[in-house]
Amino acid sequence: MTGMGTNGAGSGPVSGRGASVTLSNLEKTYDRANAAKAVDGVSLDIRSGEFLTMLGPSGSGKTTTLMMIAGFETPTAGDIAIDGKSVVAMPPYRRNIGMVFQNYALFPHLTVEENVGFPLKQRGVPKAERAKLVAEALELVHLPGYGARYPRQLSGGQQQRVAVARAVVFRPRLLLMDEPLGALDKQLRENLQLEMRRLHADLGITFIYVTHDQEEALTMSDRIAVMNDGKVAQVGSPEDLYDRPDNRFVAGFIGESNFLPAVVRGMEDNIVIAECEGALIRALCPGRPASGEKVTLTTRPERLRFADGVWAGTPPQNRLSVTVTEAVFAGERCRYMLQAGDGTSIVLKEPSSATIRRRAVGERAEIAWSVADTILV
Amino acid sequence: MSEVVQPASLALAVSRPKTSPFDWRRAVPLLLAAPLLIYMLVFYALPVVAMLLRSVNDPTWTLSHYATLLDDVVFQKTFWITINTSVTVTLGCLILGYPVAMGLVRAKSMAPFILVVILLPFWTSVLVRSYAWMVLLGRHGLVNEALLALGMIDRPIRILNTPLATQIAMIHILLPYMILPIANALRQIDPSLIRAASGLGSTPFMTFRQVILPLSMSGVAAGTLLTFVLALGFYITPAMVGGPRDITLSMLIAQQVDQLNWAYAATLSAVLLATALAILAVARKLPGVGNAFRTSMR
Ligand SMILES: Nc1ncnc2c1ncn2[C@@H]1O[C@H](COP(=O)(O)OP(=O)(O)OP(=O)(O)O)[C@@H](O)[C@H]1O
Ligand SMILES: [Mg+2]
């Protein structure tokens, strides 16, 4: 790979094979008349070699952020540094970043080989070396022997692989992907998710991946930045986001959550005791809410159990009396809609088993769950 | 194929009264077009055919009119001038038109304004535009006055009634036929391709060379063909602003008609028509061009 990656963002304090990316207070307003910010003060530290996913609903500013990193949009305010060096003033073709577009953006007038060789040609790599690198890249994405075809002669999944090969053939230190699997069917998407992980492990470069599919984000990423309304709602590992959401948006956006209105009654170390529907519920809480404050507790449906069931070890501390309002058998699990006291509805998911008694609608029951699965948001 | 068609034709058969021998619904488009078709047949196709026939049956059935063209010096010089003018004008339109097409496609709020400027010649008669060029290019016209004022020349130069005048005026008149197909092709280029090229390390110039230009070739081919074929038949403009000795094929035809030399005029017309058709036929065979031509004609 001699003579490559020396221009653009390749210099500066370099560690490992992947670039580090720092976004500081990044802002973007598209038109001055409508002052709504597409990206509103995003700060993120993306580590060298990390697989970071930006996850968020439509219009939350994911693409805009990615386009600013790639250099296709200019930030209204804030800074982008790659390997510690600001790139805001650098045109895209000097940034040396690999990019996979949602529609793949393969050149229709070029063959697969010419498409993959395109970035090498721009860098003046001699023909013989180009052919070798292209063959390697096509092998990496499991498409050897397709070099002479045109993009329109490939299936969607194959086109996607060509786009990936083209984005990594020049060994960029950073790869950006905007919903690269969005146009594919579920089966193919799951296969390619695994391949992306493998590719990330093989190449060791930094991946910034955009998706609005939370399952995809949870299975693939080292860390996820949840975006909402142009802001980062939370950054963390998939486990962090699922088990310890910082706020109601994250709890509701990633997986399913129950929200219980409660009133703070006291604190024990970093556990808050709150009253909810006449019961005292304990929850993890990083801050120190005042006694009497109205708060919301959150917990996951699959972490709840009926209290009279079979327990391994001591039954958990949090308990609530409920009435079953709906019971749905969904194969691997049963899903119950429950009502606590005067109106709070709660979802409970129980693994289905022939030995577990199914509850009937209208039945009264007590549910139980552990303090560690309860978060104050 | 037949399996796919079957359900639809079955449905048609069911909804159609079985006794009806004729499907009126299919005849409707033809009936709607009939008045125009008849008009075209009577007032256009028949006269053209009658005219062309004169090249082979005047005074009796013969190919002698064509044979004489082979060593007719006037015809050969005229034919050469016509081709030469058309090539020059087409190249001029391409060089001037391509950047305009790019500007038109890139412009945002300015686009309607640019489009009006491009289409303005369309809305003015060729005669008026040719008169305008006579005024501009004349001995005391705007162009000469400007060059004098700038000190680039000492006395008025002769532009009017030269081949250059013909070329300038024809380029002006034919520019929209070049710009619009190219703009159409440029507009169809997915903007993400240009971003992709840039992201993959291509400077704006390299992106133009390797992505934009090849992907707009269909429009270039269509525009070139259209402009060239139209230029072949130009009459009014070269007659008005061109040189007295630089006679094009259509001028020669008009001259022969004036002299009631019908057979000769018909033969020349047939040659002009055949040239245009031959160019179209060859162009359609070139890979990609036929497709482009059909698209731009849609
Ligand atoms: N070129 C543009 N001009 C004006 N506004 C834009 C433009 N692109 C995006 N926006 C606006 O900026 C906001 C963020 O858009 P962005 O495309 O970044 O969202 P996203 O998170 O990628 O959404 P999606 O999941 O739908 O792709 C939206 O409100 C959008 O309408
Ligand atoms: Mg997007």
Torsion of CA A249, A252, A258, A262, to 10 degrees: 0
Task: Specify whether the CB–CB gap between A308 and A365 falls below 8 A.
Answer: yes
Query: pTM of the predicted model, to two decimals?
Result: 0.80
pLDDT of res. B8:
41
Nearest to B211 among A98, A101, A107 (CB): A107
pLDDT one-digit tens code per residue, A79-133: 999 999 999 999 999 999 999 998 999 999 999 999 999 999 999 999 999 999 9
pLDDT one-digit tens code per residue, B234-255: 999 999 999 888 899 999 999 9
Percent of chain B with pLDDT over 90: 63
Closest CA to A87 of A167, A172, A22, A30: A22
B64-297: CATH number: 1.10.3720.10
Residue A62 near ligand 1, beta carbon < 6 Å: yes
Nearest to A170 among B190, B201, B203 (CB): B201
* Architecture of the A8-248 domain: 3-Layer(aba) Sandwich (3.40)
Handedness of CA B262, B267, B272, B276 (dihedral sign): positive
Q: So where are chain A's domains?
A: 8-248, 256-376
Closest CA to B226 of B188, B166, B175, B168: B175
Using a CB-CB cut-off of 8 Å, the residues of chain B touching A103 are 190, 192
Residues linked to residue A37 through DSSP beta bridges, in sequence order = A29
* Alpha carbons B295 and B298: distance in angstroms, whole number: 5
pLDDT one-digit tens code per residue, B96-132: 999 999 999 998 888 899 889 888 877 888 889 889 9
* Alpha carbons B247 and B81: distance in angstroms, whole number: 7
Percent of chain A with pLDDT over 70: 95
A289 CA to centre of own chain? 30
> Inter-chain contact A71–B199, Cβ cutoff 8 Å?
yes
pLDDT of res. B298:
38
Choice between A15 and B90, residue whose per-residue pLDDT is larger: B90
* B192–A contact, CB cutoff 8 A: yes
Residue A101 near ligand 1, beta carbon < 6 Å: no
Q: Give the ipTM.
A: 0.80
Residue A98 φ then ψ, to 5°: -80, 145
Closest CA to B223 of B255, B158, B171, B179: B179
Atom 17 of ligand 1, residue of closest alpha carbon? A63
Compute the mean pLDDT over every residue in chain A, rounded to the nearest whole number: 90
Which amino acid is it at B219?
G
* Architecture of the A256-376 domain: Beta Barrel (2.40)
A270 CA to centre of own chain? 28
pLDDT band at B275, cuts 50/70/90?
Answer: very high
In the numeric block, which tokens belong to residue B257? 């008609």
pLDDT one-digit tens code per residue, A26-71: 999 998 766 789 999 999 999 999 999 999 999 999 999 999 999 9
Of all ligands present, the nearest one to the C-alpha of A56 is 1
Q: In terms of CA atoms, which chain A residue is nearest residue B218?
A: A109
Contacts within 8 Å (CB) and 24+ apart, B49-53: B51/B266, B51/B269, B52/B266, B52/B269, B52/B270, B52/B273, B53/B266
